[in-house]
Amino acid sequence: MPTLNTGGVIVGAYDDKVRRTLFALTKENVNQGIIKTEDVAYASAQLNKLLYKILVEELKCDKGDMVRIVIDYEIVNGKVVWNYDSLKIEWFRREDQGKVDEATKKRVEEFKQTQK
């Protein structure tokens, strides 16, 4: 069973990444006439609807957060059939840059003191 894996992508662009990744994965099947491009587009739209409900409505992810989406699928009778039970979403929350800079500066100064 093939797997769609978006790799790390910001939440604000997950839908485009899902669509582009699915088209890349099914390119050979489209060229062989096993599936139509319209059916690939429809399948990505259906998955993206579900992901929107999860990421935006349920989890309240920020557009700058990162996610990795992994899901298995099959092509059956010229259609992409998602194995929704295999859906895995990894979520990486963006932290305030000022907080990160402050912690970095503090630890760098402490480290420099131990190096003398």
CA distances from 100 to 11, 91, 105 (A): 21, 19, 9
- Number of H helices and E strands in the chain, helices first, is 3, 4
Q: In this model, does residue 116 exceed pLDDT 80? A: no
pTM tops 0.95, yes or no: no
Confidence band for 74, pLDDT divided at 50, 70 and 90: very high
Q: In this model, does residue 46 exceed pLDDT 80? A: yes
Name which of 10, 58, 93 is nearest 18 in CA terms.
10
Amino acid 42: pLDDT: 98
